[in-house]
Amino acid sequence: MTQLAISTAVRSVDGDVVVIDVSGQLTGQADEELSAAFEAAASTTAPVVALNLADLDYMNSSGIGVLVTLLIRAQRGKRRLAAYGLSGHYREIFRLTRLDEAFEIFDDEAELPIGGES
């Protein structure tokens, strides 16, 4: 049996934001796990889905592709996609790949747009 290199948990912060806690390795093998978590988050009425990447151990180019797929799904569902908890290394990757222009980037959960904030 293959062990997943990624784990996710979906939780509501309030009616405006649903957080997907991501831990482990974000590679192409994470697609099914992350897609299922996104579908669970998208089944709510929250307009913002935020990825908590504070426990991200590793991400490769296939993992970036998984994030792009989530962006497309979020846009189709008219949802905003945010990320927080990025290390300096992953912030630089987001900048180089221009994901920082598509994701709303926050330092931590306290900065998320809750209660109608933008």
- Antiparallel, parallel or unpaired: β 48-59 and 17-26: parallel
d(CA 101, CA 104): 7
The answer to the question of residue 80 being in a domain is: yes
What CA dihedral angle connects 28, 34, 36 and 40, to 10 degrees?
A: -160
The answer to the question of residue 101 being in a domain is: yes
What pLDDT sits at residue 1?
39
**pLDDT by residue for the chain (118 residues), tens digit each?**
345 589 999 999 988 999 999 999 999 999 999 999 999 999 999 999 999 999 999 999 999 999 999 999 999 999 999 999 999 999 999 999 999 999 999 999 999 987 655 5
What pLDDT sits at residue 5?
87
Q: What angle do CA 45, 48, 51 make, to 5 degrees?
A: 125
Domain region containing 104? 6-109
> 76-81 long-range contacts, Cβ below 8 Å, gap at least 24?
77/42, 78/47, 79/42, 79/46, 79/47, 79/48, 79/49, 80/47, 80/48, 80/49, 80/104, 80/113, 81/48, 81/49, 81/50, 81/51
The answer to the question of residue 115 being in a domain is: no
What pLDDT sits at residue 2?
47
The answer to the question of residue 18 being in a domain is: yes
Q: What is the CATH number of the domain that holds 22?
A: 3.30.750.24
What pLDDT sits at residue 4?
58
The answer to the question of residue 22 being in a domain is: yes
What pLDDT sits at residue 44?
94
What pLDDT sits at residue 97?
95
The answer to the question of residue 116 being in a domain is: no
